[in-house]
Amino acid sequence: MKRGILSLMAVVIFMVTGIDAAVTTEDFQAKTTQNIINLCTVRAGDPLAREAIHFCQGYLVGAYHYYMAMNAGPESERLVCFPKSDVSRDEAIAMFVEWTKAHPQFMNEAPVETEFRFLIEKWPCKK
């Protein structure tokens, strides 16, 4: 319990002050949205920067591709519909990172849950 409170305090301090934290090997377990955000916002000089960015992109794009595959049929009810104008992978990830800053209550949720909260809010399908 004490460790959980300290972790929560560290997250709040990071978000309020904007202090860069180094990526940890624990972040690669992707248990929480905070883990993915740490990977997606890694500093260029971090020893794990290359791996972190690739993991971030792979996780977020992979989750979206799985969603698209599961909703490819004519009977599917899609929740996310991107606009006709192209949005690049990097732009979408940057928007997700910014969105999480405005929604810190989701930082301890599973990253895929938070990703789809964002996608559904940003690009909902018209019914």
pLDDT per residue as tens digits for the range 99-120: 999 999 999 999 999 999 999 9
pLDDT per residue as tens digits for the range 2-37: 444 333 333 333 343 344 568 999 999 999 999 999
Q: What's the mean pLDDT when you consider all of the chain?
A: 85
What are the contacts of 27-35 at 24+ separation with CB within 8 A? 27/52, 28/52, 28/55, 30/55, 30/59, 30/111, 31/110, 32/107, 32/108, 32/109, 32/110, 32/111, 33/100, 33/106, 33/107, 33/108, 33/109, 33/110, 33/111, 33/113, 33/114, 34/107, 34/108, 35/111
Instruction: Give the rounded percent of residues in the chain with a pLDDT score beyond 90.
Output: 69
Residue 21 is predicted with a pLDDT of 64
